Amino acid sequence: MDIDIKGGTITFRVLYYGPEGATKFLNLRGLQSSGDDVEDLSVLHADGDRVVTLTMEDGDTPPLLGLRVGFQALAAPGAIGSRAVERLLVLASDAIVFLPDRGRPAGAASRRALARLTEDLTEAGIGAGDVPLLIQNYEDGSSQLQRGHLDAHTLSFEPTFVSVPGDTPEAADVVFHRARDAILERVRGMAADLGDDGARAALTRRVSDRETAFSVVADSPRETWPTAVLWAVLGAAAAAAVVAWLL
């Protein structure tokens, strides 16, 4: 999440995560072609990993907590070389779309990647309900990844399974909007329960807690300058913006 006080916007991040052979980049290309208020795809480089991002405005959503709403989709590499980059992407996400291996959705690689993702969420102090988790399946391929393939820890995150007919911009748009709606529902629920001020305070704590979690990543001593820059882009700047908003 990022808040731009001067610009009057709040931007939520949807992370596309999965093993090699998933269709993360293809989904972002589909989103790019399906929307009007969409920027060009961008690539962030850190520790040899390439993170593809796509920023889009959301003109259909009314202002939330007094700010215009925008979204950013991020595609994680299939084989992430840096543990710090992998943890950063998980910490920065407001919803996650898990994409299984396109050729073997229920195979060992898909299940290992999903288990690693939920382990990262737990280690970061992110529990079920904190970040919506969607699992995207394709109806035109091999056997789909199903609830019975998941371990108990992954099931505790209450993932939502979404099946789409194939690799089309329309399919990518359907799944993205499911993730978007889940984020908005959660934040609106916070505002209904806590009021706008309470919701802002809760969001501030969330960003601060995630910043702290990132600082204790196991291999953080090997963090390089590009990784630190990536964190500044996705995390630390957001924390400063929220604090300024409350002041």
Could you tell me if 160 and 146 are in contact, meaning their C-beta atoms sit under 8 angstroms apart?
no
Specify the pLDDT at position 133: 96
Specify the pLDDT at position 47: 62
Angle, CA 225 vertex, CA 220 and CA 227 arms, to 5°: 60
* Tokens standing for residue 114: 């999903």
* Tokens standing for residue 156: 């505790």
Give the chain as a 3 state SS string: CEEECCCCEEEEEEEEECCCCCCHHHHHHHHHHHCCCECCCEEEEECCEEEEEEEEECCCCCCECCEEEEEEEEECCCCCCCHHHHHHHHHHCCEEEECCCCCCCCCHHHHHHHHHHHHHHHHCCCCCCCCCEEEEEECCCCCCCCHHHCCHHHHCCCCEEEEECCCCHHHHHHHHHHHHHHHHHHHHHHHHHHHHHHHHHHHHHHHHHHHHHHHCCCCHHHCCHHHHHHHHHHHHHHHHHHHHHHC
Specify the pLDDT at position 215: 63
Q: pTM for the whole thing? A: 0.84
The total number of structural domains that make up the chain? 1
Could you tell me if 167 and 26 are in contact, meaning their C-beta atoms sit under 8 angstroms apart?
yes
> How many CB atoms are closer than 10 A to CB 232?
12
What is the rounded distance in angstroms from the CA atom of residue 11 to the CA atom of residue 1? 6
What is the rounded distance in angstroms from the CA atom of residue 43 to the CA atom of residue 11? 18
User: The domain that contains 158 carries what CATH number?
Assistant: 3.40.50.300
Intervals of the chain under pLDDT 70: 5, 35-37, 46-48, 80-82, 207-208, 210-247
Range of the domain at 73: 2-246
Specify the pLDDT at position 212: 67
> How many CB atoms are closer than 10 A to CB 120?
18
